[in-house]
Amino acid sequence: MIGIFDSGVGGMTVARAIEQFCPGFPLVYLGDLARTPYGSKSPAMITEYSHRNTDFLLRQGAKLIVIACNSAASTASSFLRSHYHQLIIDVIFPAVDRAAGESVNGRIGVIGTRATINSGLYEQRLQAARPDCKVYSQACPLLVPLVEEGWLERRETKMIVKKYLHPLRDKQIDTLILGCTHYPLLKKTIAPRIGRRVHIIDSSVEVALHLKTLLDSDHDLRQSLYAPDTPSRFFVSDIPSPVHALASKIFGRTVRLEKTDV
C-alpha cells in the first residue's frame, strides 16, 4: 500500500490525485485532524507527529510513504528519510521542478503555512533548480483553519485570500506554488485574485505525477505496490463535523473515515 499522511483533510487532495494517476495502487491515508494545523507548531512537534504518523502507516502495511503535508515535508522529511529505509516522497520537490520549468520571467511566488515559509526550503530548492529565479514567499496561517471548517466559498475567506495575495501581485510573479495541500480546495478563490496570467502549481497533482513516473520506471516497486483488489483505507485522528462533507467534495464520492489514535 501507498501510505499518505497530512495534518488534516488537505492531504486528501494528494490521495485523490494519486487515485486518478495511479489506479490499482491501494492507499492508506492518515489525517491528523486532532492536531491540525501543523503550520503553527514548533519544528520539534511537527517532527514528532510526523514520526508517529509514519509508524502508524507502516503498521497498516504501507511500503512507501508520501508526506502530503508541506509543513511536515519542510520540517521533518530529512529526519524521516534518515530513520526509515522505506522510500519517502514529499510534495515539495515535484512542485519546485514544475515551477522552475514553467516560469517565464523567473518570478515565482510561494504561499504556505508559517512553518513551511519559515523553513525556507522552497526558496532553497527553487534557487538550486533555477539559479536565476526570484522567489517571493507569503505565509497564509488562516487558510488551513478556514478549509478545515469548510469555509471554501465564504466572503470572509475570499477577503483573506485577497489580502494574502496582494504582496505577490505587486511582485509581478508569473507562477504561484500552492505550498500547502489544503490550498487546491481554494484554487477557484485564489486564481482570480492572483491574476489570470499567473500559472498555479498544484502540489497534489505534481506529487501524483512524480509517483506515476517512479512506478512506471521501477518494475520492482510497481509490482510490490500494485494490488487492484485491495481497498484503500482512510484514517483520521478526529472527526469534526465538516470533515465528511469535505472528503466527499474532494473524492466525488462518500468516503468511509476510520477514527484512530496516533
190 phi and psi angles, rounded to 5 deg: -70, -45
Q: Which amino acid is at 173?
A: I
Is residue 186 within 8 Å of 10, Cβ to Cβ? no
Cell 485577497 belongs to: 162
The response to whether 53 counts as a known ligand-binding position is no
Is residue 153 within 8 Å of 99, Cβ to Cβ? no
Cell numbers standing for residue 201? 502549481
Catalytic residue among 22, 133, 140, 180: 180
Is residue 86 within 8 Å of 115, Cβ to Cβ? no
Catalytic (active site) residue 133: no
Is residue 112 within 8 Å of 180, Cβ to Cβ? yes
The response to whether 170 counts as a known ligand-binding position is no
Overall residue count recorded for the chain in this entry: 262
253 phi and psi angles, rounded to 5 deg: -160, 170
The response to whether 70 counts as a known ligand-binding position is yes
Of 180, 230, 229, 173, the residue nearest 202 (C-alpha)? 180
The response to whether 182 counts as a known ligand-binding position is yes
Catalytic (active site) residue 180: yes
The response to whether 36 counts as a known ligand-binding position is no
The response to whether 75 counts as a known ligand-binding position is no
The response to whether 38 counts as a known ligand-binding position is yes
The response to whether 47 counts as a known ligand-binding position is no
Q: Is 141 exposed, middle or buried (0-12, 13-18, 19+ CB in 10 A)?
A: middle
With a CB cutoff of 8 Å and minimum separation 6, the contacts of 23 are 228
- Which residues make up each annotated binding site for substrate? 6-7, 38-39, 70-71, 181-182
Binding residues: 6-7, 38-39, 70-71, 181-182
Catalytic residues, which ones?
69, 180
